[in-house]
Structure 1
Amino acid sequence: MIKQISGTDQSLLSLSKTSFSELRKIYRPTSEAQRNQASSTNDWTCLGYYLDQQLVGLIKVKLSGKTLNLSTLAVMPECRKKGVARSLILEAERMFSNAGLLSVWCVEQT
């Protein structure tokens, strides 16, 4: 099940930390990137993917004009390769079907 969740939800923060733990061994966000992320939390819509009432995937989306921006696509390691990320992206596209362009945001300022 996919539902909208708050960008400050503790389970979202925990999932993001777990999902990106391997990446964070190599790439670390700068202080500026962390401040930017914290200050822009309300600008993004957060969608969570739940299995058995547990958050196992998330994506942040933002519509800017006709551009749908995707960011922070995260899936618990044990739930990868099961269609969770695909389902989240498809739901974001469905929610913002008026978007004419899709933009994927990657690691920022590491």
Structure 2
Amino acid sequence: MSKKYSKQKNVIYEICNEPNGCSWSTIRSYAVSVIKTIRKYDKNAVIIVGTPTWSQLGSDGTSNEVAKNPIKGYKNIMYSLHFYANEWSHNQYLPDKLVYARKRIFR
């Protein structure tokens, strides 16, 4: 896909939409492999990487493995965090997880 669409300015690549049942280390390893391939053809496009437990930044409600071990060495990498407004529990902990991740990743 990156070879075919590398000249397009409006392409966003998404790796692992809402992964579940696998660790961040597994997702991260797979994502790095795919990112290397994308970057071979498309140096600047945004790449979105899914995160554990249906894109919740960690394997449970309180962990944040992504912030503790982000993918490094590439620009324009984003991590997905899926927030569902109708889930009362998301209003409690997901904003805090996002703030923590931003501080760790962008320091």
For normalisation by structure 2, the TM-score amounts to: 0.31
Name the one with the larger strand percent.
1
Q: Which has the higher contact order (CA 8 A, sep 6+)?
A: 1
For normalisation by structure 1, the TM-score amounts to: 0.30
Name the one with the larger helix percent.
2
Structure number with larger C-alpha Rg: 2
